[in-house]
Structures are given as C-alpha cells and as structure tokens.
C-alpha cells in the first residue's frame, strides 16, 4: 500500500495505491487521522486500488467516521465498478455513540446494588437450606436415600490425600520456625506446645477448610452449575421436587460430618509433622514430645477447633451451592462461577476465623 | 389406568373447562418484559403448537404454565387451577399431572435413564422399587427405547436422550404434556420419528399437548391448532392448522411458506452514497 498526499485548492488529496486489505488498514487509518486533522476537505483517490476486501470496506467506513470526528469532509473518487458495488452493499456508518465508561458513582452504585441483591439471595438460600435440613425431615421430607452418604464419600476421597500432605507440611513448617527461636532459650520442649495448640486451635481447621473450599467447594459449584445450565434444576422443579431438598441438603449433611473428621485428622497429622522436626532438629524423643503436646492442650482448644470446622463446612457448602444455582451465561458461566465461589469461600473462612479468634479472647474465662 | 385418566380429562371438558387457559398474560425476567398480553386456550385431547420467531416468548409462556416463572399480570390456569395461587403441596399435586420435555432433555446426568424415570414415581407414589423399574421399562418401550433402562444419559445419542426425557415426562401418565422444541438439534428422520411417537401417544393415551416449535414439518404433522406469537409479545394469530395455512396475515403466510426476509432493500444510506456525497 502506497499513500501519496498532495494539496489542491480547497483541500487535500490522498492517493491510495495497492491492495486495500488487512495489511494496509493500519497505515491508511494513520494517514487519514493525520490529514483529516489538518484539513477541512479531503478526497480519497482510489483509482489505483487493485483489490479491496471486506476489511478494506470496513476501513473506508472507519475513515469516514474519523473524518467526521475531526470535522473534515471526506469524499472518494476514482472508484472502479467493482468497488462501487461493494460499497453500495455496505451500510453507511452511524455516528459512534460515546463509549465513555459509566461514571465512577454509577459503577459504585451498581456494585452496591449487586452486592445487596446477592446478599438477599444468599439469605434466602440460607433460610431454605435451614428449613429443608432441620425442619422438613421432622415432617418426613428427606433428601433422596443414599445421596448424603454418596456425597460424603466423594468429599472424603477428594480431599483426604491433599489434606494429609498440606497439614503434615504445615505442622513441619510451624515447628521448624518455632524451634529455631526456642532453641536460643533452651526451651526446645515448648515446640510441642506450639505445634499442638497451633494445629488444634487454628491451623488444622483452617488449612482443611481452605483445601476443601478449593476442591469440594469448586466441585459443588461446577456440578450444580452444569445442572442449572442444562435445565436439570428446572426439570426437578417441574416434577414437583424442590432442588434445595434434592441437591443442597445432602451436601450440607455430608460436609457437616466430613469436615470435622478431616480437621481432626489434619490436627493429628500436623502434630506428627511437628514431631518429625523435633526429632531430627531438636532431638526430642517421641514419648517426651507427645506427652508435652497433650499436656498443653485443653478440651476447650479441641472444641473450638471442631466448632470452627463445622461453621467452615456450612460456609463452603452453601457458598458453593449458591454460586452453582445462580449461574448465568452457559458453560463459560460455570468456569466464572466456580472461581468466584472458591475465592468467596476462602475469604469468608478467613473472616469467620478472625471472628472466632476475637470471640475466644473476649469470652476467655 | 389409561381409561381412568381419559375419563378424568373428559369430565373436565364436560364441565366446560379447558385444560389450559391463558388470559392477558404478562411475564418477563427482572426488568425485561418478554410477553405483553397473551391469551389462548387449549382443549382436552388436542395438540397445540406454540410458534413464533426467536425471542417471541414461547418458552416464557410454557415456563409460566409449570410454575417456573411467576406472571407479572394476567391469569394462567392449568387443569382448572392457577399454579401460582396454590400452596406448595397443592402445586406438587398439580405438577404430578403435568409432564415437561425440555429442549435438551434435561436428564439428570449423574443417574441412569431408569433412575431418571423413577424420580417422579418415587416422589409421588409409594410403589416398591421393582414395580417402579418395571414401569420405567414399559415407558421406555413406549417411546421406542427398549433395553436402555440402565444406561447413563451420556451414553445415549441426542434423539435417544429426547425420547428418554419423554418417557420421564410421561412417568405418571400426565393429563398435559409440554414440549419445548422437541425437534431441535435432531436430523430430519429422527425428528420425524419423534413427531410420529408424540402423535401416537397422544391418540393412545388421550393426552393434551402443547408443543413449542418452529419446525414447519413438525407443525404440519402433529398440530391440531396453532397459536402464533409475534415480536412484541402478543398473539398474532391462532386457529386450526387449516385456518393458519389459509390466513391472510402476511407474517403468518411468510412463516408457513418459509419466505426468506428481503436482503436487498436495507433501509438507510449506503457507504457509497456517504462517500460520494
């Protein structure tokens, strides 16, 4: 593509020679921007254009818009019959509507409205789930037989290996960090206290919840989301089956049992990880180490850890179900919703953990 | 059982009430109103095809009938009752007499075909499992899918999935069957087979059907009456199939003659005119 410019009385003339296609579009538009800014009248001489494809036609339309924006009158001359036919078929471009982003206040307002309505919808799900899990069974309306056990088995199988590894490593890391400091004071033995209390009160439930949110929470959202997209949830409704009872309740029941069990396991495995470090780094024997661990723990620590894990369980399952059932946008929406579900779950878990920490300090007797 | 059901619907007709009544229905999603004002009736034993261009609100009408969508205004009556004015228990009772065939089948992918059909049976009856299994096998035979009762939906072809969904929709011998674009995505032979099956079942069991479709071949094969919706969300025309074929309304004529829209005369200026001033 060659572009030549000359000035005639009344305006500028741009002569384009060569093929008007995707390769030429860039230079043509650039030249047009420059020239139309400086002139009031511009003629495009297209007599030396060999070929023009649909990209070329679109480029010419864009030239017209750019010229209009700069207050320059654009005309074309030297059109071959083939080019005339192509341009006759194409519509004239309409004035480009200003595509400014919505004002900041509008976006903030939209965001707040969105969060509020999502909050309302989540509260509704919470109420429905509470009804169908706690009240309805008393009236004989149970989830499908076997569904709870099926969900529980799947959750356990999904997360057991990952929890094992992460909890073990976490116990190892915490102990290593603590040991390094405590060694300086000859207080090696208190490393057992550290890992015991840390794993039981905080890290055991926390790491289990994060792993479960990532693995099971995303699986719940993906499963329910795929069902929603495939109209399976609507099909349940048309058969007179409440989707909450059929889909949500089994998952909530299952996770209420598997989460504390996994957390307990994580606590134990974390302590074992701590023991490995104490043995090799601090020369603490098994009986010394484990006796100290049990000495440092109170029943209240265990209860706190387990009650946290139950609250985490409900957070993960309900958040997963919430995002799964509210999917829009087809299969791509499933991916988006799964990500949002996991992130929201993990964030909520950390917030709840903080609340527990504050509450336990306030209520410490 | 068949005779008893036919008796029930016949008695509904004898009392003068149609199986489905829609009056001045207005419905939509959130702020978007899809249907402005739709009224029609469906009488016992007939197949009514609900037709219209894409986005006219055909699926929306069907969703209000089964209680999936609450109307903004107007009235909907199914088997003499308004599904949105009933208590939960009453609505479940009503829905057990209505079967719905979704566009993509909507079989629960995690359960076998037999378990899918068993779902409404387990929910609404006290029948033991072996009886339910036999009923499921019988329903699958009825739609031409013998021997598939233990297969997963993913193991079936598209046409077979639709038939399996049809047998699930018919598990409780419903009085009313709603089909949302049953022929969508099927090749002509499979689609024709499904239409023939629908017609045969309707004759044998005396069911009333509302079929949402825009396949002319299906409409011509199965429709007793046709209700045609138009872009603004209102009824453009309704009547017997013969009456629609002979209609004087241009949009109806174009639909049944499959007239393509005019490509040449596009309103407004062309790019050529804009460039030559």
Contact B52, B214 (CB under 8 A): yes
Best mean pLDDT range from A60-74, A87-101, A210-224, B230-244: A210-224
Give contacts of A230 with chain B, Cβ < 8 Å: 104, 106, 109
Q: Residue A95: its pLDDT value, please?
A: 66
Q: Rg for chain B (alpha carbons), in Å?
A: 21
On the question of pLDDT at A11 being above 50, the answer is yes
In a shared domain, residues A45 and A119: no
pLDDT digits (tens, 9 = 90+) for B258-271: 888 776 656 677 88
Mean pLDDT of B194-223: 90
**Boundaries of every domain in chain B:** 1-97+179-259, 102-173
Contact A219, A334 (CB under 8 A): no
CB contact (8 A) between residue B96 and residue A240: yes
Q: What is the pLDDT confidence band of residue B16, given thresholds at 50, 70 and 90?
A: low
Q: What is the pLDDT confidence band of residue A199, given thresholds at 50, 70 and 90?
A: very high
Nearest residue to B236 via CA among B219, B216, B221, B256: B256
On the question of pLDDT at A97 being above 70, the answer is no
Nearest by CB to B123, from A64, A91, A239: name it: A239
- Position A94 in a domain: no
Q: Residue B5: its pLDDT value, please?
A: 45
Residue A327 CB-density burial (10 A; 0-12 exposed, 13-18 middle, 19+ buried): buried
Distance from CA of B91 to the nearest CA of A (A): 8
Mean pLDDT of A201-225: 95
The rounded distance, in Å, linking the Cα atoms of B37 and A149 is 49
Residue B67 sits at the chain A interface (C-beta within 8 Å): yes
Mean pLDDT of A335-339: 94
In this structure, CATH architecture of domain B1-97+179-259:
3-Layer(aba) Sandwich (3.40)
In a shared domain, residues A160 and A255: yes
Q: How many domains does chain A have?
A: 2
Nearest by CB to A230, from B106, B119, B272: name it: B106
In a shared domain, residues A246 and A143: yes
Preferred mutation among B89, B106, B210 to probe A, highest tally of A CBs within 10 A = B106
pLDDT digits (tens, 9 = 90+) for A294-312: 999 999 899 999 999 999 9
Q: In angstroms, how far is CA A264 from the centroid of its own chain?
A: 28
In a shared domain, residues A154 and A244: yes
- Return the percentage of chain B with pLDDT > 70, whole number: 92
Token look-up 């079929």 returns B211
Distance from CA of B199 to the nearest CA of A (A): 23
Token look-up 């309707």 returns B202
In a shared domain, residues A70 and A131: no
Q: Residue A104: its pLDDT value, please?
A: 84
Give contacts of A74 with chain B, Cβ < 8 Å: 275
The rounded distance, in Å, linking the Cα atoms of A247 and A233 is 9
Q: In angstroms, how far is CA B222 from the centroid of its own chain?
A: 12
On the question of pLDDT at A292 being above 50, the answer is yes
What number is the ipTM of this complex?
0.86
- Tokens representing residue A349 in the block: 């878990």
- For A67, A101, B41, B48, B217, the CA distances from B222, given in Å and listed in that order, are 58, 52, 18, 9, 9
Q: Residue A6: its pLDDT value, please?
A: 85
Q: Residue A35: its pLDDT value, please?
A: 87
On the question of pLDDT at B117 being above 60, the answer is yes
- Return the percentage of chain B with pLDDT > 90, whole number: 45
Q: Residue B12: its pLDDT value, please?
A: 47
3-state SS, residue B182: coil
**Average pLDDT value for chain A:** 90
**Higher-confidence residue: A363 or B137?**
B137
Distance from CA of A360 to the nearest CA of B (A): 43
In a shared domain, residues A311 and A223: yes
For the ranges A10-19, A216-225, A263-272, B90-99, which has the lowest average pLDDT? A10-19
Q: Which of residues 92-121 of B touch A (CB under 8 A)?
A: 92-93, 95-96, 98, 100, 102-104, 106-110, 119-120
Give contacts of A61 with chain B, Cβ < 8 Å: 271
The rounded distance, in Å, linking the Cα atoms of B1 and B175 is 12
Structural domain containing residue A69: 2-89
pTM of the shown model: 0.81
């Amino acid at each position: 593509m060659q572009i030549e410019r000359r000035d005639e009385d009344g305006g500028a003339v741009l002569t384009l020679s060569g093929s008007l296609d995707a390769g030429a579009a860039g230079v043509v538009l650039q030249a047009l921007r420059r020239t139309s800014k400086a002139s009031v009248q511009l003629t495009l001489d297209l007599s030396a254009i060999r070929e023009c494809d649909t990209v070329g036609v679109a480029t010419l339309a864009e030239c017209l818009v750019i010229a209009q924006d700069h207050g320059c009158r654009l005309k074309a001359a030297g059109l071959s019959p083939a080019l005339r036919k192509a341009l006759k078929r194409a519509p004239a471009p309409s004035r480009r509507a200003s595509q400014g982003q919505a004002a900041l206040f509008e976006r903030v307002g939209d965001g707040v409205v969105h969060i509020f309505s999502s909050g309302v919808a989540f509260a509704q799900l919470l109420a429905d789930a509470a009804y169908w899990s706690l009240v309805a069974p008393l009236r004989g309306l149970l989830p499908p037989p076997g569904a709870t056990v099926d969900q529980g088995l799947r959750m356990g199988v999904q997360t057991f290996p990952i929890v094992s590894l992460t909890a073990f490593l976490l116990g190892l890391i915490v102990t290593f960090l603590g040991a390094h400091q405590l060694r300086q004071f000859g207080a090696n033995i208190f490393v057992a206290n550290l890992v015991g209390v840390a794993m039981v009160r905080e890290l055991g439930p926390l790491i289990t919840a994060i792993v479960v949110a990532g693995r099971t929470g995303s699986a719940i959202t993906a499963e329910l989301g795929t069902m929603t997209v495939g109209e399976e949830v609507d099909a349940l409704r048309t058969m007179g089956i409440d989707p909450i009872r059929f889909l949500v309740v089994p998952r909530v029941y299952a996770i209420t049992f598997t989460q504390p069990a996994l957390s307990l396991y994580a606590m134990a495995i974390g302590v074992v990880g701590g023991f490995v470090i104490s043995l090799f780094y601090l020369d603490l024997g098994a009986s010394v180490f484990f006796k100290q661990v049990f000495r440092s723990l109170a029943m209240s620590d265990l209860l706190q850890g387990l009650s946290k894990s139950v609250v985490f369980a409900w957070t993960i399952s309900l958040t997963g179900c919430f995002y799964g059932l509210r999917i829009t946008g087809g299969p791509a929406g499933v991916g988006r919703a799964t990500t949002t579900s996991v992130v929201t779950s993990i964030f909520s878990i950390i917030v709840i953990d903080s609340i527990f920490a504050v509450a336990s300090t306030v209520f410490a007797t | 059982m068949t005779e008893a059901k036919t008796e029930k619907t016949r008695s509904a007709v004898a009392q003068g009430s149609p199986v489905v009544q829609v009056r001045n229905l207005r419905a939509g999603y959130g702020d978007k109103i899809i249907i402005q004002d739709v009224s029609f009736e469906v009488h016992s034993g007939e197949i009514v095809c609900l037709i219209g261009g894409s986005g006219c609100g055909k699926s929306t009408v069907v969703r209000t009938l089964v209680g999936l969508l609450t109307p903004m205004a107007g009235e909907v009556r199914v088997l003499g009752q308004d599904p949105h004015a009933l208590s939960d228990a009453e609505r479940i009772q009503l829905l057990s007499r209505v079967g719905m065939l979704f566009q993509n089948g909507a079989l629960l992918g995690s359960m076998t075909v037999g378990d899918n059909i068993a779902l409404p049976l387990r929910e609404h009856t006290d029948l033991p499992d072996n009886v339910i299994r036999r009923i499921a096998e019988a329903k699958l035979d009825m739609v031409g899918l013998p021997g598939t009762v233990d297969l997963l939906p993913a193991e079936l072809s598209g046409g077979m999935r639709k038939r399996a969904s049809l047998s699930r929709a018919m598990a409780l011998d419903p009085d009313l069957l709603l089909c949302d674009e049953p022929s969508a995505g099927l090749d002509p032979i499979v689609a024709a087979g499904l239409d023939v099956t629908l017609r045969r079942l309707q004759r044998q069991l005396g069911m009333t059907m509302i079929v949402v479709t825009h396949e002319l071949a299906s409409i011509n094969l199965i429709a007793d009456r046709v209700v045609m919706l138009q872009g603004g969300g209102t009824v453009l025309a309704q009547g017997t199939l013969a009456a629609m074929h002979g209609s004087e309304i241009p949009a109806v004529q174009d639909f049944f003659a499959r007239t393509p829209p005019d490509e040449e005369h596009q309103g407004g200026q062309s790019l050529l005119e804009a460039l030559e001033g």
